[in-house]
Amino acid sequence: MTGKLKDKVVVITGAARGLGRAAAKACADAGARVFALDILGDEVATLKAPNLTARRMDLTDAADVAETFARIEREAGRIDVLVNNAGIIFFKPIEDTSVEEWDRLQAVNLRGPFLCTRAVAPGMKARRSGAIINVSSRAGQHGGDDESAYCASKFGIEGFSRALAIEFGKYNVSVNSLTPGHPVHTAMSEITYNAEARKIWKEPEEMAPAFVHLATQDASGIHNTYVNAWELSEKLRAEGLA
């Protein structure tokens, strides 16, 4: 994948672990200047590459998000690609879900992508160039037992993505949502997957080609699509493009 993202500036949230970490490494390997963001500052700081900068950022703090993105634009000159990856999950019956738990999950999974996208919108629209990748889930299209909060956030991401695609498409900016499409081994799945899913899970790095490919797109390419990361990555590998 080396060189595919040469001269691109990529920002990835939730980059300390799992899919976000794998995507950050892959984009850096593909030549991008990567800003890896996560509230887990010590963990994200262990990401190392010559063209990668790791920073702590709290997605639930609007001022922190605005300040972090403004600083990146000052340092890098622009942001070409935004990957809204950060997310949290819990499983509880609705009657056992506290208001604080509900609000916290929506703040990370849905309000965070809003804040980050709002921060990159003026620059992408002015340059008429860019790509936004919103990490979604099967839970964005299907309900799950004791998953009302998580499903609400991912169904929200789907609506958010479809509306953004219309808004940003006029400026040649691609917007897509990305579901793993296959059980994937992450810190989140270690607490959510059953034994059968653990037998077949893939490592996050196996999904990374999909992130790189979507980062190369504009509105004339893959756009306004619910993308299966596993299927796209397998296709790219089969074609010798990953």
Question: What DSSP string describes 105-137?
Answer: HHIIIIIHHHHHHHHHHHHHHHHT--EEEEE--
State the pairing for strand pair 81-84/226-228. Answer: unpaired
Average pLDDT over residues 124-135: 98
Whether 212 has a pLDDT exceeding 90, the answer reads yes
pLDDT in tens, 165-192: 999 999 999 999 999 977 776 777 666 7
For residue 190, the model assigns a pLDDT of 65
pLDDT, average across residues 123-145 = 95
Sequence-distant (6+) residues with CB within 8 A of 51 are 28, 31, 32, 33, 34
Report pLDDT digits (tens) over 9-27. Answer: 999 999 999 999 999 999 9
Residue 226 belongs to what H/E stretch?
strand 226-228
* Structural domains in the chain, sorted by start: 9-238 (3.40.50.720)
Q: Point out the catalytic residue in the list 150, 171, 193, 226.
A: 150
150 is catalytic: yes
**58 pLDDT above the threshold of 60:** yes
- pLDDT averaged over every residue in the chain: 94
- When pLDDT is averaged across residues 105-112 and rounded to a whole number, the result is 98
The pLDDT assigned to 129 comes to 98
The answer, yes or no, to whether residue 160 has pLDDT greater than 90, is: yes
pLDDT at residue 1 is higher than 60:
no
Q: How much of the chain, in percent, has pLDDT values that exceed 90? A: 86
